[in-house]
Amino acid sequence: MTQRAYNFSAGPAVLPEPVLAEVGRDLLALPNAKASILEISHRSPTFKEILAAAQANLRQLLSIPDNYEVLFLQGGSRLQFSMIPMNLRADGRSADYILTGSWSKISQKEAQTGGDTHVAWDGSDTNYSALPSNTDLRLDTDAAYAHFTSNETIHGVQFATEPDVGGVPLVCDASSDFLHKPLPIERYGLLYACAQKNAGPAGVTIVIIRKDLLERSRDDLPSYLNYRVHAEAGSLMNTAPTFAIYVVRLVTDWLINEIGGLEKMHSQNRSKAKMVYDVIEASDNFYVGHAQPECRSLMNVVFRLPNEELTEKFVSEAAEQDLVSLGGHRSVGGIRASIYNAMPVAGVAKLCDFMTQFRDANCG
Ligand SMILES: *Cc1c(COP(=O)(O)O)cnc(C)c1O
């Protein structure tokens, strides 16, 4: 078998090896269907069972209450940037946005089409290295909803707890930290995540929405863009992304059966992240983290080296040791190590050893 490197890509990203092995084993024919997951109808009993299992697993892992729908949609998180205002801002009210990095900025920009937005906080003056406290937020108590990004994949800042937005429905882009820890779902109006960071492959986006909010979806919306239509059709109004949903089912099986739930996943994630931040802190400013310590992401560790030349050398020497996709996002530069759920502790340990050796060899 081809050797696998440790893959620190921000997304599509590393998947659990047992999941990939199972996909490979069953790709020609699923045990009961005698056909491939790539070949069967989205309305076949076999696929309906997979869809139901994926949903049941998510409900179990996140303790999702009965008054929430779980939808499996296409179009990525980017389509949610538009669907959310189209559906939830129906009666002409404005929507609040908390701007903590590139993704929340794009989501607000997208929501400016067809209605009003209001910026409740903007971290641009620290180049998005900090997060607001509840008292920093300038909220509109009449807003249709308040949107935040729980983990900024590019800037590497992550909320430890949900911002308090009072009685306004809280909407969360959880694309890059979905399933990394348990969540109090009842605090959310809507939470969405494309699968390809922490929950599966590209092609499906999970939307968890409180049922009363479905009443806001107007009948004159294009049907694919209407949450109520998807909820009524059980995510099968058209051909669902069958393969992606199948893999989400396997990833959630893995979280339940092999990891032992999201509390355990969270504690593994905390210790993996601490390993890397500890190396950064012990480096005598050779490595400089982007995020302020109290809002460091457990998922995307973003840091800089003293100069561009050393950064390039770091990325290429790491790749020679099978530590791949460590280059930072083009807008921020530096290094980004994405250490999602599926990144093994051994991969993080190998990265930490490499970082220590690289510093010792290059700190001049
Ligand atoms: C990757 C990402 C997106 C965009 O997801 P797509 O599926 O490519 O549309 C949005 N928000 C966050 C936080 C992300 O990490």
Ligand 1 nearest-atom number relative to CA 152: 13
Tell how strand 170-173 and strand 190-194 pair up.
Answer: parallel
Which residue has its alpha carbon closest to ligand 1 atom 1?
A: 175
For residue 159, the CA-to-ligand 1 centroid distance in Å is 17
Ligand 1 nearest-atom number relative to CA 77: 9
- Ordered alpha helix ranges (H), the chain: 17-26, 45-62, 76-88, 102-111, 227-232, 242-254, 262-281, 308-320, 345-362
At residue 227, does pLDDT exceed 90? Answer: yes
At residue 40, does pLDDT exceed 70? Answer: yes
Class of domain 261-362: alpha beta
For residue 6, the CA-to-ligand 1 centroid distance in Å is 22
| More confident site: 48 or 330 | 48
- Residue 197 in contact with ligand 1 by CB distance below 6 A: yes
Tell how strand 205-210 and strand 157-158 pair up.
Answer: unpaired
% of the chain at pLDDT higher than 70: 100
Nearest one of 204, 167, 202, 208 to 184, comparing CA atoms: 208
- Residue 78 in contact with ligand 1 by CB distance below 6 A: yes
Q: What pLDDT score does 245 carry?
A: 98
Which residue has its alpha carbon closest to ligand 1 atom 4?
A: 77
% of the chain at pLDDT higher than 90: 96
Q: What pLDDT score does 333 carry?
A: 87
**SS3 call for 121:** strand
Ligand 1 nearest-atom number relative to CA 194: 7
For residue 313 the two structure tokens come to 């050398």
Locate tokens 């990144």: which residue? 343
For residue 287, the CA-to-ligand 1 centroid distance in Å is 27
pTM of the model: 0.98
Catalytic residue among 103, 105, 121, 272: 103
Handedness of CA 268, 275, 315, 2 (dihedral sign): negative
Give Cα 166 to chain centroid, integer Å.
24
Which residue has its alpha carbon closest to ligand 1 atom 13?
A: 175
**51-110 pLDDT per residue, tens:** 999 999 999 999 999 999 999 999 999 999 999 999 999 788 999 999 999 999 999 999
Q: Is 254 a catalytic residue?
A: no
The answer to whether the CB of 322 falls within 8 A of the CB of 174 is: no
Q: Which are the contacts of 345, defined by CB distance < 8 A and separation ≥ 6? A: 268, 271, 272
Locate tokens 């107007």: which residue? 218
Q: What pLDDT score does 364 carry?
A: 74
CA–CA separation, 251 vs 258, rounded Å? 10
Query: Which residue spans of the chain are classified as CATH 3.90.1150.10?
Result: 261-362
Q: What pLDDT score does 90 carry?
A: 75
**115-171 pLDDT per residue, tens:** 999 999 999 999 999 999 999 999 999 999 999 999 999 999 999 999 999 999 999
Which residue has its alpha carbon closest to ligand 1 atom 12?
A: 175
- Residue 194 in contact with ligand 1 by CB distance below 6 A: yes
Q: Is 48 a catalytic residue?
A: no
Query: Which residue spans of the chain are classified as CATH 3.40.640.10?
Result: 18-259
Q: Is 103 a catalytic residue?
A: yes
For residue 175, the CA-to-ligand 1 centroid distance in Å is 6
Handedness of CA 117, 118, 123, 127 (dihedral sign): positive
Least confident of 87-96, 289-298, 345-354: 87-96
Across-strand partners of 337? 301
Nearest one of 180, 176, 214 to 195, comparing CA atoms: 176
CA–CA separation, 79 vs 194, rounded Å? 10
For residue 30 the two structure tokens come to 């699923």
In the predicted model, what is the mean pLDDT of residues 339-361?
A: 98
Can you say whether residue 101 is alpha, beta or left, with left for phi > 0 and alpha for psi between -120 and 50 degrees?
left
Q: What pLDDT score does 1 carry?
A: 58
For residue 166, the CA-to-ligand 1 centroid distance in Å is 26
Phi and psi angles of residue 291, each rounded to the nearest 5 degrees, phi first: -75, 145
Mean pLDDT of the chain: 97
Class of domain 18-259: alpha beta
Phi and psi angles of residue 141, each rounded to the nearest 5 degrees, phi first: -70, -10
Catalytic residue among 105, 173, 181, 272: 173
Q: Using 50, 70 and 90 to split pLDDT, how confident is the model at 330? A: confident
Q: Using 50, 70 and 90 to split pLDDT, how confident is the model at 3? A: confident
At residue 37, does pLDDT exceed 80? Answer: yes
In the predicted model, what is the mean pLDDT of residues 188-205?
A: 98
Residue type, 90: A
Nearest one of 194, 246, 224, 192 to 69, comparing CA atoms: 192
